[in-house]
Amino acid sequence: MWWHLIEQIFPYAIAYTVPLLITALGGLYSERSGVVNIGLEGLMVVGFFTSALTISRLESSLSPVVAIGLGLVLATLAGAVFSLLHAFASVTLNANQVISGTAINMLAGAITVYLARHITGSGNILIMNGLIRRNVPVLSKIPILGPLFFTQTYVTTWLVLAILLLSWFLLYRTPFGLRLRACGEHPQAADAAGINVYRMRYIAVLLSGACAGLGGAIILVTYAGEFNGTVAGLGFLALAALIFGQWKPLGILGATFFFGLASTIANVSQAIPALAKVPGIFLKNFPYIVTLLVLVFFSKSTQAPRAAGEPYDKGKR
């Protein structure tokens, strides 16, 4: 009985994890280059909105697959473009990165709902076709692992995992990654080595916007089905996952999965006799309280990029 329960939960947990993971990955790029991006929440909303708009407009005239694909692509682009605002403020103007990020969140939230309301009146945009869940051909037959990880999966899950692996490679094995990390640890050293810190940070912020935009779109096509103006704090949770995962790709994989699992359990608690007795208030708050505990626990030995959050002023030598 337990096993059946876990089998049932896992696909949901994974579905919930994936948008969190890709967004946290975006945050990783940004923070590793030295720019704190509080605006991930808003950038997810932008992707959420853009994909909803695109797909709802196109799904009647094009095949669902193409519509969804386009939706994902445009959402990614929209996130990147919107993040330019944050990049401009934080990198070029050396603004306070927290304030700039908060402004992005508010802007995204307001403008998307404004436009959505103009289009549909209610502010919600519905799409007809989301992604279908499939079983991975050979792998779903593997005992234990098969039913857990390879059945009833979305194709976007695999996309995100591929991006994760690619990111790990990029970050640790290529010159780009070395330079990016240098910008986040000691921008003066990077500058003296001839690296354009400003350009690096712009690229990193754009990547974070793209990832967050994609994350928002994935929410739409996997479990939401409709744009409703908010991603319920997922963007902030991604930031917490970043700290929890100690700014390493594999670390955030673990951290986001933890959050995904915890939230799913909270959501389905009613169906599980053992858990149904636990007051909802504890289950729902569990991820947040754990995050606080994790923050405390990691506060002493933090691996945060040393220069993250500090505006880089070339004049300072």
Partner 1 sequence: MEYVVEMLKIRKEFPGVVANDDITLQLKPGEIHALLGENGAGKSTLMSILFGLYPPDQGTIKVRGQEVKITDPNVANDLGIGMVHQHFKLVHNFTVTENIMLGMEMTKGLVLDHKAAAERIRQLSQRYGLNVDPEAKIEDISVGMQQRVEILKMLYRDAEVLIFDEPTSVLTPQEIQDLMVIMRNLANEGKSIILITHKLKEIKAIADRCTVIRRGRVVGTVDVASTSEEELARMMVGREVSFTAEKTERIPGDVVLKVENLYAYDNRKVMALRGFSLEVRSGEIVGLAGVDGNGQAELVEVITGMRKAESGRVLLKGVDITNCSIRDRIRMGIAHIPADRHKHGLILDYTLQENMILKVYDQAPFAEKGLLNREAIAEYAARLMAEFDVRSGQGATALARSLSGGNQQKAIVGREIDLNPELLLAVQPTRGLDVGAIEYIHRRILEQRGKGKAVLLVSLELDEILNLADRIAVIHNGELVGVVDAKEANEHEIGLMMAGGQRGATA
Partner 2 sequence: MKKEIGQEYTVALLAIGLGLLAGAVLMLVTGNNPLLGFFYLFSGGLMKITRIGNTLATATPLIFTGLSVAFAFRTGLFNIGAAGQMLIGGLCATALGLTLPWPKPLLLPVIVLAAALGGALWGLVPGWLKAKFNVHEVVCTIMMNWIAYWSVYYIVPAYFKGAYLETESRRIPEAASLKVGWLTRLFKGSYINLGFFIAIATVLIIAYILDRTTLGYELKAVGYNRDAAEYAGIQANRNIILSMMIAGACAGLGGAAFYVGYASNMQIGVLPSQGFDGIAVALLGANSPWGVFMAAIFFGLLHSGKGFMNAMTKVPPEIADSIIATIIYFAATSVLMERLRQRLQKRRQARDKTDLPLDPEAKLQEKVGGVG
Q: Would you tell me which residues interact with partner 1 (CB under 8 A)? A: 173-175, 178-179, 181-182, 185-186, 188-195, 306, 317
Residue 96, φ and ψ in degrees, nearest 5: -65, 120
Residue 89 corresponds to which amino acid? A
Q: Is 111 in the site for partner 2 (CB under 8 A)?
A: yes
Among 63, 65, 66, 114, binds partner 2 (CB under 8 A): 114
- Least separation in angstroms between residue 176's CB and partner 1 is 9
Residue 276 corresponds to which amino acid? A
Q: Is 268 in the site for partner 2 (CB under 8 A)?
A: no
- Least separation in angstroms between residue 187's CB and partner 1 is 9
Q: Which distant-in-sequence residues (6+ apart) come within 8 Å of 297 by Cβ?
A: none
* Residue 43, binding choice from partner 1, partner 2, none, Cβ under 5 to 8 Å by partner class: none
* Residue 161, binding choice from partner 1, partner 2, none, Cβ under 5 to 8 Å by partner class: none
Task: Give the CA angle between residues 239, 131, 38 to the nearest 5°.
Answer: 15
Residue 176 corresponds to which amino acid? F
Ranges within 157-186 binding partner 2 (CB under 8 A)? none
* Residue 288, binding choice from partner 1, partner 2, none, Cβ under 5 to 8 Å by partner class: partner 2
Ranges within 79-108 binding partner 2 (CB under 8 A)? 85, 88-89, 93-96, 98-100, 102-107
- Least separation in angstroms between residue 302's CB and partner 2 is 9
- Least separation in angstroms between residue 178's CB and partner 1 is 6
C-alpha distance from residue 291 to each of 241, 242, 254, 297 (Å): 8, 11, 13, 10
Of the two residues 51 and 263, which places its CB atom closer to partner 2 in the complex? 263
Q: Is 243 in the site for partner 2 (CB under 8 A)?
A: yes
Among 57, 133, 186, 284, binds partner 2 (CB under 8 A): 284
* Residue 103, binding choice from partner 2, partner 1, none, Cβ under 5 to 8 Å by partner class: partner 2
* Residue 102, binding choice from partner 1, partner 2, none, Cβ under 5 to 8 Å by partner class: partner 2
Provide the binding-site residues for partner 2, judged by CB under 8 A: 38, 85, 88-89, 93-96, 98-100, 102-107, 109-111, 113-115, 117-118, 123, 233, 236, 239-240, 243, 279-281, 284-285, 288-289, 291-292, 295-296, 299-300, 313, 315-317
